[in-house]
A and B are shown apart, each in its own frame.
Chain A
Amino acid sequence: MNQPGKSRIASKFAALKAAGRGALVTYVQGYDPDPATSMAILRGLPGAGADLIEIGVPFSDPMADGPIIQAAGQRALKAGATPAGVLAMVRDFRAEDDATPIILMGYLNPILSYGPERFCTDAAASGVDGLIVVDMPPEESADLAPFATAQGLDLIRLIAPTTDDARLPGALRSCSGFIYYVSITGITGTRAIGMADVAANIPRIRAHTDLPIAIGFGIRTPDDAGQAARIADGAVVGSSLVDALAKSLDAKGQATPGTVRAVLDTVRALANAVRG
């Protein structure tokens, strides 16, 4: 149950820290490959071992995503995905689960189109806990940040290997919830993580923030996830879940009876490694 006055995200990381392990953060796109299958996956994630859930809000031009997540976005848009539709999924999920943090991840333009203030109001009312807006660096946050803060939504920032020491303190100051450390210089799901480089970078970030740090982009295997969750406070896995989903689809790109299980089995294997 959510502690009063404390966000679901903060409560979850605190509880996991007390339990002596890192978090498994899972990413799937809303409406991929269709609303019903996507909803079934979402409902099944906590039971399969996801500690926090990121839901991708589909965008036609996902500049920071690799081919696997680009394809997911195309499937989702074809299935009729809209920001309002994704928020409705979160509301349905919240009717049954009031503890698992939900973070929406996407790009700025659909939010601007929805109306930034209304989007934050509706997201908070639907049970969203945080936002990751990939193409909104701290310098360009003025259109969204005040409304997110007013609604108690965490703005989770990407910190990259290229974020130098001059930039780091300022970039971290604008974060809340947790820090999303991008472990590779590249787009999602395209390069294997260099665990030694990442391990060397985490203390550099810790020196400037008390927030939990989750590592993402480039984590593919249960072993990667287990290591990342130990180096930092959490591991984010997206492309390999979406890849499992894509491989379960039929020739027309439609869900099969095995689709939900394919994703959740992958999550279970990751969760086992993280809980090691």
Chain B
Amino acid sequence: MNKPLLPNSLRTGPDEAGRFGTFGGRYVAETLMPCILEVEEAYKAARADPSFEAEWRHLLQHYVGRPSPLWHAKRLTAHLGGAQVWMKRDELNHTGAHKINAVLGQILLAKRMGKKRVIAETGAGQHGVATATACALFDLPCTVFMGATDVERQQPNVFRMKLLGAEVVPVTSGAATLKDAMNDALRHWVANVTDTYYCIGTVAGPHPYPQMVRDFQSVIGEEARAQMLEATGRLPDTLVAAIGGGSNAMGLFHPFLDDASVAMHGVEAGGHGVDVPNGHAASLTGGRPGVLHGNRTYLLQDEQGQILEGHSISAGLDYPGIGPEHSWLHELGRVQYMAITDKEALEAFQLCTKLEGIIPALEPAHALAHVMKIAPTLPADHIICMNMCGRGDKDIFAVAKHLGVTL
């Protein structure tokens, strides 16, 4: 009788204070506080307006190419010799990744709020490209903050953003990677709050961003749920998705959270290995709770509370934090989180390319590597659905380098 009561639904968060359990919140300087409250009010009003949803859905269908297919990867399934492997093909979206889903929602919101310009942070460049794309479409000036280190290793995406008309600002503060790009975007926003909208790329940051980005990305899970029911007559048994900040995973998982039969695996970047100090980007596996970038969540940090850089072969995963809803789901035990190393992701990248003719981005290659581990241990009637959240064209240079090939 003393069993703790689970909430009736795991899908109702966050609360009014922007909390998922003890995670989330609005930890920003006073200058930004009125601004994020304004975003929150505007988002609430937009959600209540059917014309907002209709315009976004129209863009998803005719501009992005949704719904993305659900692919039964039969050759990979046969090779692994266990569970059935299905892929949610969000790499087929316009701009090549899931990022565009939430960007279009946010740009429509920015227009609705009367904002005159848009800023964004980017790591691998996928969110920057998506934001630059939407800003081109809606004729909004766009500035993308990108760590100078990432500018170096993601030249094709930098060029894409520039072609799309965006200004790319290389960030040299701190370690010059994604977390520093986010710091500088927030600093820029503080100084330009009245006319600027900050388009955050993941389910992190101050409330309402974790909720808003999740809501937009949930289109992935909603489609996957309906497509799987149509194709197989039942729900998948296990969902698998890669996690940096965690937006593609939240998008896939959220519509299934109340389906008790569906197991969920979030795959973090294990880099050189989670035992290697500062050699990975696995915030849940190797971090502890703290406050950064406006939210309380699991972070990679040293014993003094200084934030660590993290490492991953994937520039899109080496973020020292994770969305607060993931921290909550981790502590509840609803989602299991594990790590995949650079080496394992590279192997999965090559195997998927050869067996399925699909070049995955290094981010979903982490999810695939985990699928390769678990599928052989599961029966043939077990259905795994993994999120192929991005295509690997942007990564071929990095992969060639790791394989010792000169292009």
CB < 8 Å A-B pair total: 120
- Per-position contact with B for A219-252: 1 when CB-CB < 8 Å, else 0? 0000000000000000000000000000000000
Interface of B is mostly: mixed
- Kindly identify, within residues 166 to 195 of chain B, every residue whose CB is under 8 Å from any CB belonging to chain A: 173-174, 179-180, 183, 186-187, 190-194
Indicate whether A112 sits within 8 Å of B27 (C-beta atoms), given known contacts A135-B291, A185-B191: no
Q: Which of B31-39, B363-371, B372-380 contacts A (4 or more CB under 8 A)?
A: B31-39
- The CB with the most chain A CB atoms within 10 A, among B26, B31, B193, is that of B31
**A63 with B191, Cβ < 8 A, contacts A113-B305, A140-B27, A164-B34 known:** no
A185 contacts B301, CB within 8 Å?
A: no
Q: Evaluate contact between B304 and A185: CB separation under 8 angstroms.
A: no
Q: Are B187 and A108 touching (Cβ within 8 A)?
A: no
- Which of A65, A110, A139 has a CB less than 8 Å from the CB of B26? A139
B253, chain A: closest CB distance, angstroms: 27
B32 to chain A, nearest CB (A): 8
Chain A residues in 8 Å Cβ range of B192? 185
Are B306 and A137 neighbours in the complex by a CB distance under 8 Å?
A: no
Report chain A residues within 8 Å CB of B299. Answer: 109
Chain A 32-73, CB-CB to B under 8 Å as 1, else 0, gives 000000000000000000000000000111111111001000
Q: Is B290 in the interface zone, CB < 8 Å from A? A: yes
Query: CB distance B31 to A110 under 8 Å?
Result: no
Assess the B292–A109 pair: CB atoms within 8 A: yes
Please give, as numbers and ranges, the residues of chain A lying within 8 Å of B94 by CB-CB distance. none
Q: Does the CB pair B304–A110 fall under 8 Å?
A: yes
Interface membership of A163, Cβ < 8 A: yes
Contact with B along A171-190 (1 / 0, CB 8 A): 10000000000101111001
Q: Which of B292-340 contact A (CB under 8 A)?
A: 292-294, 299, 301, 303-307
Partner of B30, one of A70, A157, A187, A191: A157
B29 at the interface (CB under 8 A from A): yes
Q: Which of B29, B174, B191 contacts A61 (CB 8 A)?
A: B174
Decide if B17 is an interface residue (CB 8 Å cutoff): yes
B32 surroundings in chain A (CB, below 8 A): 162
Are A61 and B292 in contact, with the CB atoms below 8 A?
yes
Nearest residue (CB) in B for A136 is: B27
Given A60-B174, A61-B174, A187 and B34 touching (CB < 8 A)?
A: no
Which residues does chain A contribute within 8 Å of B31, judged by CB atoms?
A: 64, 158, 160-162, 182, 185-186
B179 to A61, Cβ gap below 8 A?
Answer: yes
Dominant secondary structure of chain A at its interface with chain B: loop
B25 within 8 A of A: yes
- Given the contacts A64-B187, A185-B191, A163 and B30 also touching, CB distance less than 8 Å: yes
Asked if B28 is at the interface of the complex by the 8 Å CB criterion, the answer is yes
Q: Which residue of the partner chain, among A114, A159, A190, contacts B191 with CB atoms under 8 Å?
A: A190
Identify which of B179, B183, B192 gathers the most chain A CB atoms within 10 Å of its CB.
B183
Q: Which residues of B contact A82 (CB under 8 A)?
A: 304
Contact B29 A158 (CB under 8 A): yes
- Let me know if A134 is at the binding interface, CB within 8 A: yes
> Which of A110, A135, A191 touches B29 (beta carbons < 8 Å)?
A135
Return chain B residues, CB-CB under 8 Å to A190.
191
Q: Does A198 contact B (CB under 8 A)?
A: no
Contact B305 A114, beta carbon cutoff 8 Å: yes
Complex CA gap A74/B34 in Å reads 30
Task: Name the A residues within 8 Å of B292 (CB-CB).
Answer: 61, 109
- A137: chain B residues within 8 A (beta carbon): 26-30, 33
A167 interfacial contact with B, CB 8 Å: yes
Give the docked Cα–Cα distance between A258 and B248 (Å). Answer: 54
A122, B279: Cα distance in complex, Å:
33
A130 on interface, CB distance cutoff 8 Å: no
Q: Are B301 and A113 in contact, with the CB atoms below 8 A?
A: yes
Residues of A within 8 A of B304 (CB): 82-83, 110, 113-114
Flag if A63 contacts B187 (CB, 8 Å): yes
* B30 and A159 within 8 A (CB): yes
Instruction: Give the one of A61, A66, A186 with max B CB within 10 A.
Output: A61
B contact residues around A136 at 8 Å (CB): 27
Q: A77 at interface (Cβ–Cβ under 8 A)?
A: yes
Q: Is A199 part of the binding interface, using a Cβ–Cβ cutoff of 8 Å?
A: no
Q: Is the CB of B35 within 8 A of A162?
A: yes
Residue of A70, A134, A187 with highest tally of chain B CB at under 10 A = A187
Within 8 A of A (CB), among B11-59: 17, 25-35
Q: How far is the CA of A59 from the CA of B11 in the complex (A)?
A: 35
> A276 to chain B: closest CB distance in Å?
30
Bound state CA distance, A267 and B215, in angstroms? 52
Q: In angstroms, how far is the closest chain A Cβ from the Cβ of B192?
A: 8
- Contact pick for A140, options B26, B173, B180, B194, CB 8 Å: B26
Nearest-neighbour CB distance to chain B for A95, whole angstroms, equals 25
Top-4 shortest CB links A-B: A113-B305, A186-B191, A110-B305, A160-B31
In the complex, 9 of the A-B residue pairs with CB atoms within 8 angstroms, ordered by the A residue number, are A60-B174, A61-B180, A113-B303, A135-B27, A139-B17, A140-B25, A161-B31, A164-B34, A185-B31
Chain B positions within 8 Å of A, measured between CB atoms, are 17, 25-35, 173-174, 179-180, 183, 186-187, 190-194, 289-294, 299, 301, 303-307
Known: A60-B307, A110-B305, A185-B31. 8 other contacts (CB 8 A): A63-B293, A83-B305, A109-B290, A113-B301, A114-B304, A136-B27, A158-B30, A160-B29
